[in-house]
């Protein structure tokens, strides 16, 4: 079994209380990589009910290596063995109940996200959504396996809609004020989502903001602005172009 070692089983979610893991029962297990995604609301005692419990109980009783990545209420647990991921998934509701919380079982699942195997295996790794990004396996330009990240679909659609609505609601403001606000919004988006492999989403946001600005400026009344005239205006008020601010994360 040692030759098929694959260390990426993940449990993702937004937590609302913590859990307790029973001692390992041993036995053979498949080294596959399911991911559990879960959503709940946990504010009080998060460090005690999740972080401390994970360090003192989960890591001591799981068969293989397990890791926890948490930011506020979002967390990912990676398991080397599938049986460990399934056991953690089973005890999460019990741990939540101990602190008077309930876990949303409909949004809790295991996802196999191990390293891609040869095409003959017929197994395709799953994807994990965490902190607004979709994490998935891909290829480098040299053909090696790597984990790629792009903006989560619902986050991207929400951002595009917000730019469109902002340009509509603020089209009568002075042009320089609109320009400063749009640049600030784009800068904030690039600062968070400007990571390697996410350039297509950055480009889409930039071009959507550009089209929305021109569209609603033309709805202010008076003479319509052609694309040539809009280009001259963009030369005087150039919106911030997309840029990658974090090469490796």
Instruction: Indicate if the pLDDT at residue 150 is higher than 90.
Output: yes
**pLDDT of res. 173:** 94
Q: Which residue has the higher pLDDT, 15 or 52?
A: 52
Q: 121 in helix, strand or coil?
A: helix
**pLDDT of res. 249:** 54
Distance from C-alpha of 179 to C-alpha of 109, rounded to nearest angstrom: 44
- Model confidence at 91, pLDDT cuts 50, 70, 90, reads confident
**pLDDT of res. 1:** 41
User: The whole model's pTM is what?
Assistant: 0.73
Instruction: Indicate if the pLDDT at residue 141 is higher than 50.
Output: yes
- Model confidence at 113, pLDDT cuts 50, 70, 90, reads confident
Question: Taking a C-beta distance cutoff of 8 angstroms, is the pair 112, 125 a contact?
Answer: yes
Rounded to an integer, what is the distance from CA 98 to the centroid of its chain?
A: 29
Distance from C-alpha of 37 to C-alpha of 131, rounded to nearest angstrom: 12
List the strands of the sheet with 128-130, edge to edge.
128-130, 133-139, 145-151
Q: How many helices (H) and strands (E) does the chain have?
A: 8, 8
Instruction: Indicate if the pLDDT at residue 187 is higher than 50.
Output: yes
Distance from C-alpha of 66 to C-alpha of 105, rounded to nearest angstrom: 22
Q: Which residue has the higher pLDDT, 73 or 23?
A: 73
Q: 37-57: string of b/e by CB count within 10 Å (b at 16+)?
A: bbbbebeeebeebbeebbeeb
In the chain, which ranges are continuous DSSP H helix? 46, 53, 59-61, 82-98, 153-169, 175-193, 199-217, 227-236
Instruction: Indicate if the pLDDT at residue 125 is higher than 90.
Output: no
What tokens appear for 197 in the block? 């492999």
Question: Taking a C-beta distance cutoff of 8 angstroms, is the pair 75, 67 a contact?
Answer: no
Q: Which residue has the higher pLDDT, 195 or 101?
A: 195
**pLDDT of res. 26:** 42
Mean pLDDT of 30-58: 63
Percent of the chain with pLDDT over 70: 76
**pLDDT of res. 121:** 59
Greatest mean pLDDT range, 23-27, 48-52, 146-150, 152-156 = 152-156
DSSP character at residue 17: S
Question: Taking a C-beta distance cutoff of 8 angstroms, is the pair 42, 18 a contact?
Answer: yes
Query: Measured between alpha carbons, how far is residue 165 from residues 186, 200, 212 in Å?
Result: 15, 22, 9
- Model confidence at 40, pLDDT cuts 50, 70, 90, reads very low
Instruction: Indicate if the pLDDT at residue 43 is higher than 60.
Output: no
């Amino acid at each position: 079994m040692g030759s098929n070692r694959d260390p990426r089983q993940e449990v993702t979610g937004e937590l609302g209380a913590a859990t307790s893991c029973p001692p390992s029962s041993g036995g053979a297990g498949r080294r596959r990589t399911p991911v559990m995604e879960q959503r709940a609301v946990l504010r009080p005692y998060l460090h005690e009910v999740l972080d401390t419990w994970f360090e003192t109980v989960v890591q001591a009783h799981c068969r293989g290596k397990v890791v926890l990545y948490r930011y506020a209420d979002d967390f990912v647990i990676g398991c080397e063995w599938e049986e460990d991921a399934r056991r953690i998934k089973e005890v999460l509701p019990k741990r939540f109940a101990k602190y008077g919380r309930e876990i949303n079982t409909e949004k809790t699942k295991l996802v196999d996200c191990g390293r891609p195997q040869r095409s003959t295996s017929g197994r395709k790794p799953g994807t994990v959504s965490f902190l607004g990004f979709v994490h998935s396996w891909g290829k480098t330009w040299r053909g090696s396996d790597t984990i790629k990240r792009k903006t989560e679909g619902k986050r991207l659609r929400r951002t595009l809609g917000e730019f469109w609505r902002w340009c509509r609601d603020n089209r009568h403001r002075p042009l320089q004020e609109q320009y400063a606000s749009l640049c600030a919004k784009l800068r904030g988006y690039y600062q968070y989502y400007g990571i390697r492999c996410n350039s297509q989403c950055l480009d889409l946001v930039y071009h959507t903001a550009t089209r929305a600005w021109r569209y609603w400026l033309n709805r202010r009344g008076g003479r319509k602005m052609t694309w040539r005239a809009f280009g001259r205006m963009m030369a005087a008020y150039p919106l911030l172009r997309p840029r990658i601010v974090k090469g490796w994360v």
